[in-house]
Amino acid sequence: MPSHPHYFVLDERNEPVETSFDEWARWATAHGTTRKTSVGAHARVRTYFQGLTDDVTMPEPPHFVHHVEGPGLHGKSATSPTYEEAIARHERIVTWLRDRVARTGEVLR
């Protein structure tokens, strides 16, 4: 079964709206990262809207992705379904990562 891609951008209320590839590409270039926080020199959290789905390999609704880099984490990630939940989860991850870095004193290798 061939996949059929779907492209989404966020509207003024931060709700996903399906659009064309060209519009999605322009939007993603201008609005790629929703929030990015560095925790010291070697730990960071980046949250962005994953506005791409398809009928076969990514059938879930569009969502937000959190990439976490830090001591011993090796590129961990998590997802959130809405903008509000993504912002709240981003802040919780930042707090958790700060505590982890402070507790371990490790640096990213």
Distances in Å between the Cα of 35 and the Cα atoms of 13, 45, 48, 67, 70 are 16, 8, 7, 11, 17
- Location of structure tokens 């989404």: 8
Residue 9 carries which DSSP code? Answer: E
In tens, the pLDDT along 49-77 reads 999 998 888 778 899 999 999 878 877 99
Q: Which amino acid is at 11?
A: D
In tens, the pLDDT along 75-91 reads 799 999 999 999 999 99
Mean pLDDT over all residues of the chain? 89
Per-domain boundaries in the chain: 5-104
pTM of the model: 0.86
